[in-house]
């Protein structure tokens, strides 16, 4: 087995796009204010880039450490997109907020306190921007942003990087601000405001994880649910990173329960893999190994930057990969190195059939390789989008709160199958992983999943279709700019 290691992070890079239609009259000035985590920055940069390339001025607002993570050369950012630093008045618990957002959960409430202190710098920017800002596109976390913008004659849109089904399950703003659901079992059933049949709900082990992280106030004084609720209530419209081809009924539901305009803005598929040429040189051995595998035969396994697997989970995933007999590339993060956590003899038993990669990996480039046919994923919405835009078969193993709801949506849509878990404690085993991998990847009974993924590729992976959502969204912003 080939072990690869690379710990250094690479900057987020944005796609190069072909501009079909430029704004020739009365261009907009749109400001973006994302939450600080990398998983939020990336899609926000994606949409900001597309709007700038349509001929509109874009100001991208974030803290100085986060702006350093973004590309600053002209080859990566269009001329109409500028980075605007906002410095918090409350000190963050670490010097680099980008380090904290991918780190331990217990420090995040302190980061939210620092983030909340951006209210005054935001007001300063909006009051002095030239030309004046027409629209502020903000994340869920700055629940204070819409009132600030409104006082300065700036309209606001909640730009949600999560999917419509997740928002629909969470419910209307009042339910988020003053929830009626107060027990774990309340989250194991479809809520009464959802009028159509669906399996989008939590299972008991997942529901027990919801109340604390989402609904309990933290050191910032408010809960995550409260932030969502106030942001939705106060904004002028809601923009969702989704499309009607996948979530039409959920998007319609959001219009009903929010009582305001809800627009899908597409999935922002990159025009090409977003890793730099220099970073890919270090992976020449991995790509050469893939070049010698059959088309569509390899499963790529990854669980995102924020999921922390425990030793037992690593061992069961390894057992499942071994039992499946499938070739694999596994992106595994472990603080003390892979040799310390992989099962004894795993490397020898899978020699020549699999690669385990430590640290950062060029995920989009690996997923794009013709030999890769499947993606075992934690069901983060960005990862799901990357898999669907390439038509890959998805094997679903959700790990944390929102991912379970995304997995249920994909099952409802016939896209894939979840790895089975114990209903009492949420554990999974290698046998279940192996059986699900083989069903979705190679067995006759899984052809429906593979066909559905190929079908969605023609929509989610179609740049013209996805960019049409952005064009329609921008036209709405132009038609509803402040007087």
Residue 356 resides in a domain: yes
Residue 250 resides in a domain: yes
Residue 5 resides in a domain: no
Give pTM, 2 decimals.
Answer: 0.89
Mean pLDDT of 189-198: 97
* Residues 203, 285 within the same domain: no
**39: domain CATH number?**
3.40.50.2000
Adjacent-strand bridge partners of 394: 375
Q: Which strand ranges, in their side-by-side order, compose the sheet holding 393-396?
A: 2-6, 354-359, 328-332, 298-302, 372-377, 393-396, 417-418
* Residues 380, 395 within the same domain: yes
pLDDT digits (tens, 9 = 90+) for 158-177: 999 999 999 999 999 999 99
pLDDT digits (tens, 9 = 90+) for 392-406: 999 999 998 789 999
- How many residues in total does the chain contain? 483
* Between 359 and 445, the higher pLDDT residue: 445
Residue 160 exposed, middle or buried by CB count within 10 Å (0-12, 13-18, 19+): buried
* Percentage of residues in the chain having pLDDT higher than 90: 71
Residue 2 resides in a domain: no
| pLDDT given at position 270 | 54
Residue 3 resides in a domain: no
* Residues 244, 325 within the same domain: no
* Residues 21, 75 within the same domain: yes
Distance CA 251, CA 168 (A): 8
Residue 326 resides in a domain: yes
Alpha-carbon distances, residue 73 vs 18, 60, 70, 79, 239 (angstroms): 18, 15, 9, 10, 28
Q: What residue numbers bound the domain in which 244 lies?
A: 10-269+462-479
Distance CA 379, CA 268 (A): 17
* Residues 403, 442 within the same domain: yes
* Residues 238, 364 within the same domain: no
Residue 300 resides in a domain: yes
pLDDT digits (tens, 9 = 90+) for 283-313: 888 899 999 999 999 999 999 877 888 999 9
* Residues 283, 258 within the same domain: no
Residue 313 resides in a domain: yes
Q: How many domains does the chain have?
A: 2
* Residues 209, 284 within the same domain: no
């Amino acid at each position: 087995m080939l072990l690869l290691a690379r710990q250094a992070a690479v900057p987020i890079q944005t796609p190069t796009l072909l501009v079909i239609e430029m704004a020739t009259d009365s261009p907009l000035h749109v400001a973006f204010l994302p939450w600080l985590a990398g998983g939020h920055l990336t899609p926000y940069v994606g949409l900001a880039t597309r709007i700038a390339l349509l001929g509109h001025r874009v100001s991208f607002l974030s803290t100085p450490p986060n702006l350093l993570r973004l590309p600053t050369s002209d080859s990566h950012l269009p001329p109409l997109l500028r980075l605007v630093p906002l410095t918090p008045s409350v000190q963050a618990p670490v010097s680099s907020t980008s380090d904290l957002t991918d780190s331990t959960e217990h420090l995040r409430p302190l980061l939210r306190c620092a983030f909340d202190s951006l209210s005054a710098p935001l007001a300063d920017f909006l009051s002095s921007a030239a030309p004046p800002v027409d629209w502020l596109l903000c994340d869920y976390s700055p629940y204070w942003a819409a009132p600030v913008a409104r006082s300065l004659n700036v309209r606001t849109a909640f730009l949600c990087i999560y999917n419509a089904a997740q928002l629909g399950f969470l419910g209307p703003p009042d339910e988020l601000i003053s929830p009626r659901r107060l027990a774990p079992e309340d989250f194991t059933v479809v809520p009464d405001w959802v009028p159509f049949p669906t399996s989008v709900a939590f299972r008991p082990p997942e529901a027990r994880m919801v109340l604390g992280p989402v609904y309990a106030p933290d050191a910032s004084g408010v809960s995550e649910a409260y932030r969502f609720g106030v942001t939705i209530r106060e904004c002028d419209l809601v923009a969702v990173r989704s499309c009607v081809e996948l979530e039409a009924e959920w998007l319609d539901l959001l219009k009903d329960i929010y009582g305001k305009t809800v627009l899908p803005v597409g999935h922002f598929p990159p025009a090409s893999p977003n890793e730099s040429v220099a970073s890919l040189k270090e992976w020449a051995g991995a790509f050469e190994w893939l070049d010698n595998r059959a088309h569509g035969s390899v499963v790529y396994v990854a669980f995102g930057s924020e999921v922390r697997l425990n030793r037992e989970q690593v061992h069961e995933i390894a057992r499942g990969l071994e039992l499946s007999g499938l070739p694999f590339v596994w992106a595994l993060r472990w603080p003390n190195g892979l040799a310390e956590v992989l099962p004894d003899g795993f490397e020898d038993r899978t020699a020549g059939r699999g690669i385990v990669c430590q640290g950062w990996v060029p995920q989009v480039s690996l997923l794009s390789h013709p030999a890769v046919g499947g993606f075992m994923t934690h069901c983060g919405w960005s990862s799901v989008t990357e898999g669907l835009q390439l038509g890959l078969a998805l094997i679903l193993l959700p790990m944390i709160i929102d991912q379970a709801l995304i997995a249920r949506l994909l099952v409802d849509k016939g896209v894939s199958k979840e790895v089975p878990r114990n209903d009492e404690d949420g554990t999974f085993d290698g046998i279940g992983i192996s059986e699900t991998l083989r069903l979705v990847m190679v067995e006759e009974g899984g052809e429906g999943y593979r066909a559905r993924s190929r079908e969605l590729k023609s929509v989610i992976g179609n740049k013209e279709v996805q960019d049409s959502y952005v064009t329609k969204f921008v036209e709405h912003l132009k038609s509803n700019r402040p007087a």
